[in-house]
Amino acid sequence: MKNNFDYKILQKDTKSKARAGEIHTPHGVIETPCFVAVGTQATVKTLSPSDLKTIGVELLFGNTYHLHLRPGEEIVKEFGGLSKFMSWNGPTITDSGGFQVFSLGQKKITLFADDNNTEVDIVSIKDDKVIFRSHLDGSKHEFSPETSIKIQKKLGADIILCFDECAPHPLTHEYTKAAMDRTHSWALRCIEAFKDPTTTYFKQAIYGIIQGGVYKDLRINSAKFITTQNFDGIAIGGVSVGESKKEMRDVLEWVTPFLPDEKPRHLLGIGEVDDILDAVFYGMDTFDCVIPTRFGRYGIVFAYPPVGNVKNRFRYDLTKTINAKDKGPVIDGCKCYTCQNYTKGYLHHLFKANELLAYRLASYHNMHFLVNLTKEIRKSILEDRFEKLRKKWLKT
Amino acid sequence: MKNNFDYKILQKDTKSKARAGEIHTPHGVIETPCFVAVGTQATVKTLSPSDLKTIGVELLFGNTYHLHLRPGEEIVKEFGGLSKFMSWNGPTITDSGGFQVFSLGQKKITLFADDNNTEVDIVSIKDDKVIFRSHLDGSKHEFSPETSIKIQKKLGADIILCFDECAPHPLTHEYTKAAMDRTHSWALRCIEAFKDPTTTYFKQAIYGIIQGGVYKDLRINSAKFITTQNFDGIAIGGVSVGESKKEMRDVLEWVTPFLPDEKPRHLLGIGEVDDILDAVFYGMDTFDCVIPTRFGRYGIVFAYPPVGNVKNRFRYDLTKTINAKDKGPVIDGCKCYTCQNYTKGYLHHLFKANELLAYRLASYHNMHFLVNLTKEIRKSILEDRFEKLRKKWLKT
């Protein structure tokens, strides 16, 4: 086992590429397929680590861009790394900071103090690095493959990601190829930076990221390149930034034949029910998404069939007046804390009154729903009935 | 036992008027002295009923003004009353709505749609009722002793309060007397309305409220009047609206000799450490205050001695930079969930990042602190060492 990191397949599905496995990390075992809770600023919005443990969350996703700006990687390192800093004490993964930085790329900001009200680009992409301004205070920062890895080594997550260019959709083939080439050359620099023992504080594993936008040739090119480097796992990026649901499936169909069995696979930014079912179908192991807590704060709650179905995307809006007098739980039969203890009518009231408990209880239900879905998926793979389960959900 | 309501003294202190007792209600027993958690809109901000049970909260305080406007007393009644509506399932108390309405009294609002941008008073006080406008939408409402009691009977708390005039400080002797006379005549009307079996849905008890501002003659007059009516308990109002700490103690000194031993006594709106210790000294049993959750949301946390003392009012500010690298808990030795699981540094980060979990964890600690303080006070009375405990805290 390299760096206390290992991946084992327990069962491969006979009717799809789905697999049930185990990722071993210094902070514990992750049973896959697994929905990964996003804790952007070292907290999963509204939920405590104890809530997450009770729900059954096994892996937390932190954002390097946000943690670098606040509280800063030095503080996180001093507290013993991300997992300990936030009292989660379980497995964690961080992104490279690239996604957030490139998301800033289409915005401009006006600077006041120093710059005479000049309007400047927030992001400037160069072949060797990216220069950007903080969304918090406009201060100037740089991310390069080397700085991203150095920061992630201080944040100390069990799994860290390569610094890649995840450019906003839509893009020409020409630009996408240039971004992919940058991503590949950065991948090699990330591997070198990762190896450097003088910047190593924790036991960590590193995943490479396959890019290539919506172009088949580029995706295959990228899959071939990334899978032949010395990475502990493989991530697929850029499928959540504006492409259609069909395009996500196309990318998985093109890319997955090149993925080695023995490495764990993470799909970045995916969290809708049908997307998770299909991602597992194509052999993906883990998926992260802010959906459960973001929707939770808006009063949108996930629903099992028959209330939830493909058409309503397995969710409904608790803030609608129809819920005001409803004495039932969010979903009949749901075993989560929220559904076991509170009525729709009460939750509706909390949302109308803008009470913080509303956001927490709805986020709790949503997180439980998606974590429970992936646990059910895992069980079905182990019992060789995943396709039946998938079709049951997708036919609703 | 009248209406499933009863009060028993278990132990009277030998060196003060302090007493340890039990209030029996349809939803359970309240061990006194007891800090009452305020759940303005049928929720104690950021905390779940399960959190409150774990902390040891025994009585929740709901606000009739807010619950009348949203979700409305009809809905609360349909859900089985306040305690069941919010899944608390323990004892509850509601105020009369008067405090909030009279707090609105010094504001004006500009009306748009109907009234040609006319500036109007929000509150108009008449001898038989109070007319006011909702802070939510400007709509017109009326509270009279009869409507307040009718609303509270639908809200269904175990303990309800008389509709009183709690006028903002400072006031002349003349106005205070007029307000007190109104409060007394309203008290008699409340008792009549409370008796009406056609508006009775739940088993409830009713407390009268002693007013009289900062004037000794009026307070004594009010104490004599209220204590001789047929109330199940006695509340003292108007000590939290602008008077100094000394004035609260003066009022208690004037009033408490007139309070009958056999009725429970509630002090409205009190929640600072020294105020609670002195209120118990004067024989008060229960106290409600928004302090733990309001301060919690600002990052102000309560501290046991030696960190907390009379000078810093037993609290400090977690958002100050000095806490950023601190790996200790909010208070060493504190047994609350927050202190057992999180560092000051992490909580400081959550506050700086405006994360909702910050408000919850700080509110949890603060509520635990005050509930624990009153439990410790109760224990000291039962063991005849309350004065020693009180002096120990007040000498810090």
Test the B interface: residue of A346, A348, A350, A367 with most B CBs within 10 Å: A346
Give the percent of chain B with pLDDT over 70. Answer: 95
The closest CB to that of B324, out of A43, A71, A337, belongs to A71
- Interface subset of A 205-224, CB within 8 angstroms of B: none
The residue ranking higher by pLDDT, A107 or A323, is A323
Whether B272 shows a pLDDT value over 90: the answer reads yes
Average pLDDT score, chain A: 93
Structure confidence by residue, pLDDT tens digits, A382-392? 999 999 999 99
Q: Which chain B residues contact residue A46 at CB under 8 A?
A: 356-357, 360
Confidence band for B120, pLDDT divided at 50, 70 and 90: low
**8 Å CB contact of B346 and A42:** yes
Q: How many CA atoms lie within 13 A of B99 on its CB side?
A: 20
CA gap A221, A260 in Å, rounded: 15
Q: Which chain A residues contact residue B353 at CB under 8 A?
A: 41-43, 66, 70-71
CA gap B94, B82 in Å, rounded: 9
Test the B interface: residue of A44, A46, A48 with most B CBs within 10 Å: A48
Q: Count of A–B CB contacts within 8 Å?
A: 110
Q: Nearest to residue B73, comparing CAs of B141, B6, B133, B123?
A: B141
Selecting among B13, B51, B95, B275, the annotated active-site residue is: B95
- Interface subset of B 276-335, CB within 8 angstroms of A: 324-325, 327
Lowest average pLDDT, out of A210-214, A248-252, B69-73, B123-127, goes to: B123-127
Confidence band for B116, pLDDT divided at 50, 70 and 90: low
Confidence band for B23, pLDDT divided at 50, 70 and 90: very high
Q: Which chain B residues contact residue A79 at CB under 8 A?
A: 327, 343, 345-346
Specify whether B128 is catalytic: no
CB B378 within 8 A of CB B287: no
Specify whether A274 is catalytic: no
Q: Which chain B residues contact residue A356 at CB under 8 A?
A: 45-46, 356, 359-360
Whether B67 shows a pLDDT value over 70: the answer reads yes
A28 min Cα distance to partner chain B (Å): 19
- Which pairs from B174-179 meet CB under 8 Å and 24+ separation? B176/B211, B176/B212, B176/B213, B176/B214, B176/B215, B176/B218, B177/B215, B177/B218, B179/B211, B179/B213
- Domains for chain B: give ranges and CATH numbers: 6-96+144-290 (3.20.20.105), 297-394 (no CATH)
Q: Chain A contact for B141, CB < 8 A?
A: no
Q: Which chain A residues contact residue B43 at CB under 8 A?
A: 350, 353, 355, 357
CB B177 within 8 A of CB B184: no
pLDDT at B241: 64
A253 min Cα distance to partner chain B (Å): 39
Confidence band for B110, pLDDT divided at 50, 70 and 90: low
A366 min Cα distance to partner chain B (Å): 17
**8 Å CB contact of A50 and B341:** yes
In this structure, are strands A119-121 and A108-110 parallel, antiparallel, or unpaired?
A: antiparallel
Average pLDDT score, chain B: 93
Residue B289's contacts (CB-CB under 8 Å, 6 or more residues apart) are B35, B36, B38, B240, B269, B270, B271, B272, B370
Confidence band for A116, pLDDT divided at 50, 70 and 90: low
Q: Chain B contact for A106, CB < 8 A?
A: no
Mean pLDDT for A2-11 is 91
Where do the H-state alpha helices sit in A123-172?
Answer: 145-155
Kindly identify which residue of chain B lies nearest to residue A69, measuring between CA atoms: B353
pLDDT at B85: 98
Lowest average pLDDT, out of A357-371, B2-16, B315-329, goes to: B2-16
Mean pLDDT for B28-34 is 98
Residue A315's contacts (CB-CB under 8 Å, 6 or more residues apart) are A295, A300, A301, A302, A303, A308
Structure confidence by residue, pLDDT tens digits, B207-239? 999 999 999 999 999 999 999 999 999 999 988
Whether A137 shows a pLDDT value over 90: the answer reads no
Whether A301 shows a pLDDT value over 60: the answer reads yes
Selecting among B158, B232, B275, B288, the annotated active-site residue is: B288
B357 min Cα distance to partner chain A (Å): 5
Whether B93 shows a pLDDT value over 80: the answer reads yes
**SS3 for B176?**
helix
Q: How many CA atoms lie within 13 A of B138 on its CB side?
A: 13
**What is the value of ipTM here, to two decimals?**
0.95
Whether B140 shows a pLDDT value over 60: the answer reads yes
Mean pLDDT for A87-102 is 92
CB B351 within 8 A of CB B363: no
Lowest average pLDDT, out of A178-187, A359-368, B99-108, B193-202, goes to: B99-108
The closest CB to that of B356, out of A45, A85, A349, belongs to A45
Q: Phi-psi region for residue A212, left (φ > 0), alpha (ψ -120 to 50) or beta?
A: left
Test the A interface: residue of B63, B336, B356 with most A CBs within 10 Å: B356
The closest CB to that of A357, out of B43, B325, B357, belongs to B43
The pTM of this model reads 0.95
Q: Which chain B residues contact residue A49 at CB under 8 A?
A: 341
Whether A176 shows a pLDDT value over 70: the answer reads yes
pLDDT at B157: 98
